[in-house]
Amino acid sequence: MSSATASRSPWSWIPTLYFAQGIPYVMVMSVSVVMYKRLGISNTDIALYTSWLYLPWVIKPLWSPFVDMFKTKRFWVVSMQFFIGAALACVALTLPAPAFFQYTIAVFWLMAFASSTHDIAADGFYMLSLEQSQQAAFVGVRSTFYRIAMISGQGALVVLAGQLEEHYGGALEGLKTAWSVTFWIIAAVFLAFFVYHKFILPRPVADKPTLASGSGSVLSEFVRTFRLFFAKKEIVVILFFLLFYRFAEAQLVKLVSPFLLDPREAGGLGLTTSEVGIVYGTVGIIALTAGGLLGGYLISLKGLRWWLWPMAIIMHSPDLAFVYLSQVQPENFLLINAAVALEQFGYGFGFTAYMMYMIMISEGEHKTAHYAICTGFMALGMMLPGMLSGWLQEQIGYAHFFLWVMLSTLPGFAVVALVKVDPEFAKKKS
């Protein structure tokens, strides 16, 4: 490893790496929801099919050991960034087609597989490239730039798409053109990140395939990775926490954009595409980021155990903001922004505990693969409740749906009562 590479500042690659990690996820999970709503797809189909897109993140533990065993994490990061850029361009190409829904869902599916593989490699690369003290120091940085990616995708790009919709007209073909141009732009930006990282990412000595020559068979190493994870103490409680801590949020997140976009006579707030980009994609994500940064800072002071219950309460209670919005349907744009910001701040604050818990239980051998297994269960916990949320909302309406979301917070509190956390974990040493 050259001295230039060895001394390269984490600031030169961590912000851009986690910005690039966030873009495909937000395009697949959030921007697609807005786009399909504007192109006339029903809430039932939107929630069902976009929730299925979680599947690559759910099953990524099945191939995370192979990312560990073959090639370097750097190789996987750069390769997947090129593939994702190409996939974004394919969405732009297929949108004008009559069967755009089927084509774009298929491309999003492939993009989700590439993105989940990129997640495995990027998180592993982060842990291998930095000392533990640096990992703690930059956890807020990686989270911040991941959120900035969400603002860029869910906020700025949605606002841009809204402006292009006005330019090309409100007919279906005009809407398709507007969204196609939007995806061409983000594809070009993402491919630029691919080129940058190909030259800038460091080459840490520790970044090498775990399946060294003569170290055993691929299958035995694969099985051993999973065996070690499921042999962890309190594994049942761990899985319950990963699956149910965000049970309410998994349902809420799929219906926020449709709720904001739907006309008032349908129970929504009747906002324009650009307004949704501002409310949910910009103001909301800024509040989400602020909550995450504050949560990380406070955990570093007193540790995860001390903050676990307060974070669970602060995460779930602000869901009441959507109960208010759906019951009252206020027209005041600032009030709508404030309500969404409150809910998103609470979610960002409480989700910090979830991230630190996954890091805690991934410590030890095969930490890259074990963290990927954790994120797989995290995705499953979002996928299954989200799949039926659109159908449920169309059966009972937005007002009753958000009341159901509040009831769905109870499993999140129950799993917090079960977990055990080392009082010293994540606490900054004096």
* 10-residue stretch averages of pLDDT, the chain, 430 residues long: 55 91 91 92 91 87 78 91 96 93 94 91 83 70 82 88 88 91 94 92 80 60 83 92 94 93 94 91 87 86 89 94 96 96 93 89 79 86 91 94 96 93 74
Work out whether the CA dihedral 382, 384, 386, 387 comes out positive or negative: positive
Does any domain span residue 17?
yes
> Is residue 54 in a domain?
yes
Q: What is the CATH number of the domain that holds 317?
A: 1.20.1250.20
Q: Provide the residue range defining the domain that includes 192.
A: 12-200+222-418
Q: What is the pLDDT of residue 5?
A: 45
Would 135 be classed as within a structural domain? Answer: yes
pLDDT for position 214: 46
pLDDT the model gives residue 361: 86
The total of other beta-carbon atoms located within 10 Å of residue 333's CB is 13
Residue 43 domain-assigned (yes or no): yes
Q: Is 272 inside any structural domain?
A: yes
Torsion sign (Cα): 368, 369, 373, 379: positive
Spatial distance between the Cα atoms of 257 and 74, rounded to a whole number of angstroms: 35
The one-character DSSP state at 265 is G
Q: Is residue 227 part of a domain?
A: yes
Residue 216 lies in a domain: no
CB 331 within 8 A of CB 387: no
Q: Indicate the pTM of the whole model.
A: 0.77
Instruction: Pull the structure tokens for residue 267.
Output: 């129970």
Residue from 211, 208, 233 nearest 222 by CA: 211
Is residue 205 domain-resident?
no
Question: How many domains are there within the chain?
Answer: 1
Taking residue 241's Cβ as centre, other Cβ atoms within 10 Å add up to: 26
